[in-house]
Chain A
Amino acid sequence: MTAVAVALVQVLVVALGGLLLTGLMAKVRARAEGRVGAPVTQPLRDVAKWLGRESPRATAGTALAIVPTVVVATTALAATLVPLAGVGLVDATGADALVVVFLLLTGSLALAVGGLATATAFGGMGASRAMTLSALAEPALLVAVAAFAVPAGSLSLPAMLGHALDQPLTMVSPSHVLAALALLVVVVAETGRMPVDNPSTHLELTMIHEAMTLEYGGRDQALVSLGAAMRLGLLLGMLGVLTVPWGLATSAAPLALLGGLALSALKATVLAVVIALAEVHSAKLRLFRVPELLAAAFVLAALAIVVGVVAR
């Protein structure tokens, strides 16, 4: 019962937190650039506003109609599996890291299909670019998560986090550091942040994610934006707990769980601010350099596994 409640709360927190983090990052950027910027709650208000509107659809295909729902649903399902509050709640086998990665992949695949279904030039271009990156980013994400799994010898997220909590020294091991770096790079690429994608641009030459979502409106637009925000929140949360698992509840006591969840949110917030600040100070990579960055992440993750296995 507690487990179901926690899972539902997690989805809510990821959704709300994701939207707020998106707003926060925009705000931090604005401040760092000397602007006032929109309020942090702006994405939340936008989504709420769009939710109440009808969805104009240019083409009659079913793909466009179901894509927003698929994006939100897969991300929400993934959000129930990542232990953001505590590690001792459910039987560990369900919360497999591979399942989480594949759910996220399904979401981005759906989005690309939607981009193609609009049959506009931008949608197709965005989908093509997104899939190119995805083909590199997903393996890297998989390997990076697997690298965290090496010390525990299990791909189950609660098991690996539990192991790290038991043996805090693994957190300064080279394998852990490398895996954390790799995951950071992948998360930046996955969430469509600079230096890979510039989330605040609508210039056709530079956008990736935005190009695929141009054709949505109303409720669809709301769901797609929500999905993207949830994805950001979830990945940052995952990065936070995998890198520094301290603070996660090990029992089912409600207070401990609440504390764990709050701490996870805090870690994600700190990461968001750091990434936003880093974005201000870095130029966007040219598109053909991006594969290099992701390949580097892949190599870091592979090294993390090798080192983890070798030095065990």
Chain B
Amino acid sequence: MALALLLAPLLAALVLAIVAPGPRATATSVAASGLVLAGGVALGARTAHGHVVQALGGAVRVDALSAVMVIVIGTVATLATAATGRVLGDVGAGPARRRAREYAILVQVFVAAMLGAVVAANLGVVWVMVEATTIATTFLVGHQRTRRAIEASWKYAVLCSVGIALAFAGLVLVYFASAHAGGGLRGATLDWSGLRALAPHLDPRVTRLGIALLTLGFGTKVGLAPLQSWLPDAHSQAPAPVSALMSGVLLTVALYAILRVKAIADVALGPGFVRGLLVVLGLASLAVAALMVIAQRDLKRLLAYSSIEHMGLIALAVAAGTPLALAAALLHVVGHGLVKSVLFLGAGEVHHAEATTTIADIRALLRRRAALGGVLAAGLVALAGLPPFSLFASEVAMFRAEIGAGLGWAAGVALALLVVVSTGLLRAGRQVLLGPGERAADRVPRRALAPLVAALGASAVLGVVAWPLATLLHGAAGALA
């Protein structure tokens, strides 16, 4: 039954085709996202101890890892859809109205595609769904129809399509390997659990080629260097809620695909292969982020590079691959989803209020707009990995697990780069938040800020007590190891 709740976004998309843009449409969107969150929690409760929920003749397969992802999707989607009205503003009539409707529908389709990716039992379907997210978000990135937005969405569509095409080639090779598996086990399959069972009998040379392509292909979508160049453009040009969804969950949905692939590769090739790949990609991403954050001039681009940094951190933890490291990585996925969406939505409010996101042009937000400034300040502190927020806890846990897994040197390098990025974040924060100033006349409505405060609160709670997620996260890590 919990699975049925995941259909809510698709239904909402249908409803939104009829309901006129406005408060009622927004309420529909939020309700759908809330239902997804509820479904995720229900699924989590059932799968935390190793149970697997299946449906549609095995085409849908939910274990604890899928449940974690559904919860993150539901949470961020709720936050993002609640801000719909703030983005679209007064839609009036004519083309603006049509585009508002398109926007609302596409967001639901986008969420539905992400859900499809994390509950599908077949890697091929996962691939199709990830590609579907590209299609839905291309329009969302270009929603504002400005020169820059169009440029960003073009780069995004082309680069991600290339990446995803590489992943498909990898998929074909893995399928080929499974069709010619040795050891008497024959059965061409793309089902990830089936592939894991078959993994010891896969031809290592072909599988290695396939896995490398899959990692690189999905890695493009995760925003891992060297194929990260679409990310800052797309995230900075998309409307704030879309940036929140993309950064908060889309990246990690692609990472989810890599997790599934890695589980197969570790059995077929031994843990060394994907580990090596991910360490290289992860450290490269951290390095790129560190370089670009230092002198960053735009708030949203700053946040985008911070996403690359966090994906790099997660990739390193995944590379370590111990259950502890995976659980920490998943906690980081959750925390990053919460905090990054808060910050993107906050940046959207800044853009709304100040008509710019250029860091140098924004001053003294803490004085001039105390509430918004407070949210941004807390968010930046959280993003920089400081206590009490959950990103601090998960970063510490990830580093410890990496050292335990023999990746101490990588953890050391990562820590150094992390310090650079965090310094850059806090410096930008000081620039934007502090300083003398007069209280601004217009105020950001409480209604817009309340969800953000709630999300930050949740992140802080998770940072102190990992309950009730701990069991689920460990269950998810166990499902992979």
- A and B, direct touch (CB closer than 8 Å): no
Binding site for A on B (CB under 8 A): none
Binding site for B on A (CB under 8 A): none
